[in-house]
Amino acid sequence: MDALIAAAREIQSAAHVPYSDYRVGAALETADGTVFTGCNLENANYSNSLHAEEVAIAEAVKNGHRDFARIAVSSGRRDGVTPCGMCRQTLSEFCDPSLTVLCDEGEDVTEYTLGELLPNTITESHLK
């Protein structure tokens, strides 16, 4: 099993999911091989919940990393979960469209690029 998938699976145990019981873990690998993990943290009003991918990238950026190689996403159900639209947009703020996105399906892993998952992303140039 890919070590990044294993890290995404392992961090799920720290998830706070009292409402959905849907644990998600993410493991983000930097260009230098450092791995940052995140899990979902639900809030009773849902809109204040944090997604695993957001937590992982926030931890990496907080620690000075801005160059990323790949991210793995896994749910407790091993259902091939992909980053949601909001997480895709957050990733695109810090990652190239070529970022590899690994989605855990249990025995199999589906691989995408961020650009495949979020074509025509909103960028800084759209705000000018």
Helix (H) or strand (E) holding 68: strand 68-75
In angstroms, the CA 22 to CA 34 distance is: 27
Q: Which residue, among 12, 54, 62, 74, has the nearest Cα to 34 in the 3D structure?
A: 62
* Catalytic hit among 53, 93, 111, 124: 53
Tokens representing residue 93 in the block: 């703020």
42 noted as active-site residue: no
Find residue 24's DSSP bridge partners. 75
Are the beta carbons of 99 and 87 closer than 8 angstroms? no
Looking at residue 44, the DSSP 8-state letter turns out to be T
CA 46 to chain centroid, in Å, comes to: 18
Q: Which residues are catalytic, by number? A: 53
